[in-house]
Structure 1
Amino acid sequence: MSALTEATTSDLTVRKLHPALGAEVRGIDMRRPLDPATASALQAIWMEHLVLVFPSQNVTDAEHVAFTRYFGEPEIFHQKIIRSERVQEIFRVSNVNEDGVLMPPDHPVAQQVALAQFWHTDSSYKDIPCTGALLHGVEVSRTGGETQFTNMYLVYDALSPALKRLVDGRKARHNFGHMHSQAALKPLTEEEKAAMPPVWQPIVRQHPVTGRKALYISPIYNDEVEGMSADDAKRLIVELTQIAADPRFVYTHRWETDDVLMWDNRCSMHQVTPFDPRERRVMHRTTIVGQDRVMAG
């Protein structure tokens, strides 16, 4: 356990949540400006624990966006049906519309949001994927709806020698349109297809800050693997996903209202556990624009 985990850094108290990843951070009020020393300390804590939990953050969307800017530029999502109409940097992971009305389970937005119940890493389908994300629990569910995170550094380390030989130096395709083939979603518009053409990313990547190797897959977007038939590619992604889902590597977060979670998409995957779609669940996310192309590990 590191000094950052054991002690208080400035006014920050850090408590480890799982052996593999995840830490609760207290001593932050996201409504107030961060001084440079605190912002630097948070960055170091984030790199160590991959997922940070900030409890009791009763922030507005504007305050959420402003806090995100300490870590990078907030992304404006390319799909209007998910993006907030009121604060464009907010990505709405919600089965409730912006007028507060619960959507039926067969509503196109509710169906797309439900695909978060499969393992993925955000914006892997971009040439330069995002750095990370911050998710605010505005209305949380009690019938499920936990968010699970897996440490992809440890997943890569745990691969057998044969699997490492298979994935090292190989690329997988990340196709935003593939997600739409896995549910009865409205087809992408030509504008959306043009905005998000498929990209090929290394299956093993090197983190640009820590230098560590991590497995880099995103099963809801992966539809091809370099040098493999479609069936073999599908089997490989399934096998790697099963390893990533091992409880040794997974932290499960049970939400409380006004929790804010921040995670590193360069070395983790996440998914949401199922919940009753008749229960309101409103989560607002900001996404940190990436700075670096994926570097092969």
Structure 2
Amino acid sequence: MATSTMEAGTTLLRTRWLKPSFAIEILDIDLPTASKDELLAFDDICRRTAVVVVRNQTLSDEQVLDVSGRLGKVSAQQYTGPHPKYPGISILSNKKVDGKYIGTPDAGRNWHTDGTTYAKLGLTTMLYGIECPPEGSDTLIADAAAAFESLPLERQRELEKLNVVHNRGHLIQKYNRAALSPEELAKMQDVIHPVVVKSAVDGRKSFFITNGSTKSVQGMSQEDGWALIKELIAYTVQEQFVYRHKWQDKDVLIWNDVGTLHSATPYDETKYERLVYRTWMRPFDVVSATTAIEELLPAH
């Protein structure tokens, strides 16, 4: 696709659309050595674009956190491959040391959205691909705003009336990530969000739907509510709405979780090794709205 420039302040960064108006690649920037103006331009692009790709970045563990911290407050990780030294990093990997996985080998292999169990919405995800298989292990990201906008107006209005009940304990137990005590479960209260929200990137109306944390749809039976969520997810992840990221070593992939769904594809784990760092960031403008209880709860 043709290259272009995006202006932020006095700095121009060359970019190219990977999927028009949805996924963009920033060209010719080295994040560890970038100037202040270049980094401000990078920040601006990440705020204004749902999916951002930067290739060929050599980042230390500390630099992964430095870049992540530009995009929001980094959330500590407790259950999904926590880094032994840096709690803000999750390790996604099939590599083993002394017969034990150094991280989580199979996270995210279903369509979902993160950040659904915060009372105040807002989450950015960053992946840093250190070692990437040459085939498989793609990351798929669906444009939930484009999917919603493609529906007939009458159907849009029907769906805008619906709310979903989410629960962090329900999510953790569904995937057997950890044994939760009754005291922990009691702290993980239900959170209600509309099926349709406004995208954090451009304010467009967008689906906000997911798999794991969904308990029910208000006003519908358990069976009918879950059938609706599966129907909407299947619609949103049609090929025309999806950006497929084919990994190269040292890629940085960033996306806004409000307005998207994402999924990982499998790869031949007997043939290839994979090592990816993941960080989750709460936008600075919603951090103050996060309660102390939410802050202490196990990561979603």
Aligned match of 2:52: 52
Any residues of structure 2 matched to 1:85-124 within 5 Å, and which?
A: 85-96=84-95, 99=97, 103=101, 110=104, 114-124=106-116
Contact persistence 1:126–1:196 (CA under 8 A)? no
Q: How many equivalent residue pairs? A: 283
Query: 2: distance between equivalents of 1:174 and 1:218?
Result: 9
Distance 1:7 1:167, change over 3 A: same
Distance 1:102 1:41, change over 3 A: same
1:49 is aligned with what amino acid?
T
Any residues of structure 2 matched to 1:38-77 within 5 Å, and which?
A: 38-77=38-77
2:259 is the counterpart of 1:267: yes
2:277 is the counterpart of 1:284: yes
Contact persistence 1:21–1:150 (CA under 8 A)? no
Any residues of structure 2 matched to 1:225-244 within 5 Å, and which?
A: 225-244=217-236
Query: 1: distance between equivalents of 2:80 and 2:14?
Result: 38
Aligned match of 1:258: 250
Q: CA deviation at 1:53?
A: 0.7
Aligned match of 1:138: 130
The TM-score, its normalising length taken from structure 1, stands at 0.84
2:150 is the counterpart of 1:158: yes
Contact persistence 1:21–1:151 (CA under 8 A)? yes
Q: CA deviation at 1:202?
A: 1.4
Please identify, of 269-278 and 240-249, the stretch whose mean Cα deviation from structure 2 is larger.
269-278
Q: CA deviation at 1:48?
A: 4.2
| SS across alignment from 1:116 | coil
Query: 2: distance between equivalents of 1:275 and 1:260?
Result: 19
| SS across alignment from 2:45 | helix
Q: CA deviation at 1:192?
A: 4.8
Query: 1: distance between equivalents of 2:99 and 2:14?
Result: 38
Q: Sequence identity, in percent?
A: 26
Distance 1:33 1:101, change over 3 A: farther
Distance 1:189 1:60, change over 3 A: farther
Query: 2: distance between equivalents of 1:280 and 1:196?
Result: 35
Please identify, of 145-154 and 63-72, the stretch whose mean Cα deviation from structure 2 is larger.
63-72
Query: 2: distance between equivalents of 1:80 and 1:183?
Result: 11
Query: 2: distance between equivalents of 1:49 and 1:258?
Result: 21
Aligned match of 1:12: 13
Aligned match of 1:26: 27
Q: CA deviation at 1:147?
A: 0.0
Any residues of structure 2 matched to 1:175-194 within 5 Å, and which?
A: 175-180=167-172, 182-183=174-175, 186-190=178-182, 192-194=184-186
Query: 2: distance between equivalents of 1:232 and 1:153?
Result: 23
| SS across alignment from 1:125 | coil
Query: 2: distance between equivalents of 1:185 and 1:96?
Result: 19
1:157 is aligned with what amino acid?
E
The TM-score, its normalising length taken from structure 2, stands at 0.83
Note the aligned Cα RMSD (angstroms): 2.8
Q: Deviations over 1:109-132 (max 9, x none)?
A: 74xx53501111112122234431
Q: CA deviation at 1:201?
A: 1.1
Which structure 2 segments of 5+ residues have no match? 291-300
Contact persistence 2:128–2:277 (CA under 8 A)? yes
Query: 1: distance between equivalents of 2:168 and 2:201?
Result: 26
Contact persistence 2:200–2:256 (CA under 8 A)? no
| SS across alignment from 2:279 | strand
Contact persistence 2:80–2:177 (CA under 8 A)? no
